[in-house]
């Protein structure tokens, strides 16, 4: 007789998998930075991801790939590719914790853009969440006091691109399965990344392939573990656990790359997190 495991405990275990996957992807991206072009990295990421998803589909069935919204898939993955480019590009130049903190501005851009793209109302709570998010971003970046470098701008733009990708995913999730969305993510981004990489192609050395495999597989396991956690627990539980990515990656940066702990990053991220949590709490009460 198997022991009963509370759904909240299961959700925490799945979120641990999510956190480990994101950190593994960040470390692999840092190790590959400067040794391989960013678009080339994204090409191999898509290639490895497509191979893994194809193996899964060979068992679960290819019928679920049928879709009438291929144009929406292309739009979503063009935005997602831009987001990935900015994220991996930034990882090679700025501290890992700062990359993750700037990435947490993505929900702020989603709240700002959702009224235009999804027809959602911008309530007072959402306005407050946006205000806290912008305040947190200003604390982290401190424009005028600290130079805002091109890699920082790239990561910030990647957060905007990710929010666009998220909104398009919300449109797709009503008709297409998660596996279908993941398949087209890799299938669409594969040729796009290849075309962008051909102008500066360098065949990866054999020593780089373990890191490429980590990038390709961890991207899929992160999204899979996160979706499993969200099925088991409310977003009010999952989102705070996801926020643990920041102190964990800050510790990794400190221990392995001698990156100093930046309290402006921590304080700014806490402001953004407070806004996200308040918005989630309001949505839960409304539901």
Q: What is the pLDDT of residues 19-33, one digit of tens each?
A: 999 999 999 999 999
CA pair distance 224, 217, nearest whole angstrom: 11
Q: What is the DSSP letter of 148?
A: -
What pLDDT, on a 0 to 100 scale, did the predictor assign at position 1? 44
Q: What is the DSSP letter of 206?
A: G
Distance of CA 101 to the CA centre of its chain: 12
Query: Crossing angle of helices 150-172/124-141, nearest 10°?
Result: 150
Task: Find out whether 125 and 280 touch, Cβ atoms under 8 Å.
Answer: no
Residue 6 pLDDT exceeds 90: no
Return the SS3 of 173.
Answer: coil
Residue 235 pLDDT exceeds 70: no
Which pLDDT band, with edges at 50, 70 and 90, does 2 fall under? low
CA pair distance 114, 160, nearest whole angstrom: 12
Q: Which residue has the higher pLDDT, 223 or 23?
A: 23
Q: Which residue has the higher pLDDT, 129 or 207?
A: 207
User: Residues 208-246, buried b or exposed e (16+ Cβ, 10 A)?
Assistant: beebbebbbbbbbbbbbbbebbbebbebebbbebbbebb
105, two tokens = 């501005």
Return the SS3 of 269.
Answer: helix
CA pair distance 58, 232, nearest whole angstrom: 27
Residue 195 pLDDT exceeds 60: yes
Residues in the chain: 287
* pTM recorded for the entire structure: 0.88
Tell me phi and psi for residue 53, to 5 degrees: -65, -35
Q: In whole numbers, what is the pLDDT of the chain averaged over residues?
A: 87
Task: Find out whether 96 and 26 touch, Cβ atoms under 8 Å.
Answer: yes
Q: Which residue has the higher pLDDT, 228 or 183?
A: 183
CA pair distance 201, 53, nearest whole angstrom: 25
Query: Crossing angle of helices 150-172/106-117, nearest 10°?
Result: 50
Query: Crossing angle of helices 235-243/263-286, nearest 10°?
Result: 170
Q: Which residue has the higher pLDDT, 128 or 238?
A: 128
pLDDT digits (tens, 9 = 90+) for 107-163: 888 888 877 777 777 778 878 888 888 898 899 888 877 888 999 999 999 999 998
Which pLDDT band, with edges at 50, 70 and 90, does 68 fall under? confident
Q: Is 111 exposed, middle or buried (0-12, 13-18, 19+ CB in 10 A)?
A: buried
Task: Find out whether 232 and 14 touch, Cβ atoms under 8 Å.
Answer: yes
Q: Which residue has the tokens 């049928």?
A: 66
Compute the Cα dihedral for 107, 112, 113, 119 and give only its sign.
positive
Report the percent of the chain where pLDDT is more than 70.
Answer: 95
Mean pLDDT, to the nearest integer, of 54-78? Answer: 90
């Amino acid at each position: 007789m198997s022991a009963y495991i509370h759904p909240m405990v299961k959700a925490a275990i799945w979120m641990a998998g999510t956190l480990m996957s994101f950190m593994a992807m960040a470390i692999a991206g840092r190790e590959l930075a400067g040794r391989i072009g960013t678009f080339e990295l994204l090409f191999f990421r898509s290639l490895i991801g497509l191979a893994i998803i194809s193996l899964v589909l060979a068992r679960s069935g290819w019928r679920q790939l049928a879709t009438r919204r291929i144009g929406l898939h292309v739009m979503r993955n063009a935005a997602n590719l831009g987001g990935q480019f900015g994220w991996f590009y930034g990882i090679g130049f700025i501290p890992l914790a700062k990359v993750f903190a700037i990435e947490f501005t993505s929900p702020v851009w989603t709240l700002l853009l959702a009224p235009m793209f999804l027809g959602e109302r911008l309530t007072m709570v959402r306005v407050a969440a946006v205000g806290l998010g912008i305040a947190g971003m200003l604390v982290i970046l401190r424009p005028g006091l600290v130079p805002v470098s091109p890699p920082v701008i790239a990561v910030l733009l990647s957060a905007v691109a990710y929010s666009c990708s998220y909104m398009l995913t919300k449109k797709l999730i009503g008709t297409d399965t998660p596996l279908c969305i993941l398949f087209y993510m890799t299938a669409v981004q594969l040729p796009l990344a290849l075309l962008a990489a051909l102008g500066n192609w360098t065949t990866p050395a054999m020593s780089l392939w373990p890191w490429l495999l980590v990038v390709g597989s961890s991207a899929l396991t992160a999204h899979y573990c996160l979706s499993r956690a969200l099925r088991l627990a409310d977003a009010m539980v999952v989102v705070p656990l996801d926020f643990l990515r920041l102190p964990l990656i800050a510790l990794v940066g400190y221990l392995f790359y001698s990156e100093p702990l930046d309290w402006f990053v921590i304080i700014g991220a806490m402001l953004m997190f407070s806004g996200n949590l308040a918005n989630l709490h309001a949505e839960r009460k409304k539901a």
